[in-house]
Amino acid sequence: MNNNDILRRLRYALDINDVQMAKVFRHCVADLSLDQVGSWMRREDHAEFETLPDPMLCRFLDGLIIEKRGLRPDGLVPEPLEFLSNNEILKKLRIAFNLRDEEMNAVFKREEFVVTKAELGSFFRKEGHRNFAKCPEQVLRKFLQGLGKKGGEEELEESED
């Protein structure tokens, strides 16, 4: 799964259009055009397809955090990461939706996918920690699919109250 696939899956999960995608990006990137967003959303075989680099996916995820939770207390927008791992993507989604372990497992459950509490915790450890584990692509894919299941957004918003 490449960055463009992740962005497309997030768009589907959030049920938003290109204009709304651009709005999320603009929290972190001021001069982004709607055409640019469209070129990232296209399939690889389309003539106007462009590969989404890691820093831009990071900016989208940071923009999603700002969209869902507001700016950081210091008002600064974080610098994008040069390399974005599956662990970082999962971590940023967890922050954006303000999810606890139980709520994350509810998302996985929608896909009939089991992730233990210990396994989930290992994905959020710092690399180098003895309990750190790399997040497999399948785990990220199932989480994104679970977010997109009917009722996903509403259930997540209800659990925040």
> What digits encode the pLDDT tens for the residues 81-116?
999 999 999 999 999 999 999 999 999 999 999 999
Q: Does position 159 have pLDDT exceeding 80, yes or no?
A: no
Query: Tell me, what's the pLDDT at 150?
Result: 61
CB hemisphere CA count around 1 (13 angstroms): 20
Distances (CA, A) of 88 to 126, 136, 149, 160: 10, 12, 22, 22
Residues 47-89: tens digit of each pLDDT: 999 999 999 999 999 999 999 998 888 888 889 999 999 999 9
pTM for this one?
A: 0.87
Q: Does position 153 have pLDDT exceeding 50, yes or no?
A: no
Pairwise pLDDT comparison (70 vs 155), residue with the higher score: 70
Residues 131-151: tens digit of each pLDDT: 999 999 999 999 999 998 865
The whole-chain average pLDDT of the chain stands at 90
CB hemisphere CA count around 84 (13 angstroms): 25
Query: Tell me, what's the pLDDT at 155?
Result: 43
Residues 21-57: tens digit of each pLDDT: 999 999 998 888 999 999 999 999 999 999 999 999 9
Q: Does position 158 have pLDDT exceeding 70, yes or no?
A: no
Task: Give the three-class secondary structure for 154.
Answer: helix
CB of 101 closer than 8 Å to CB of 117: yes
Pairwise pLDDT comparison (100 vs 154), residue with the higher score: 100
CB of 18 closer than 8 Å to CB of 60: no
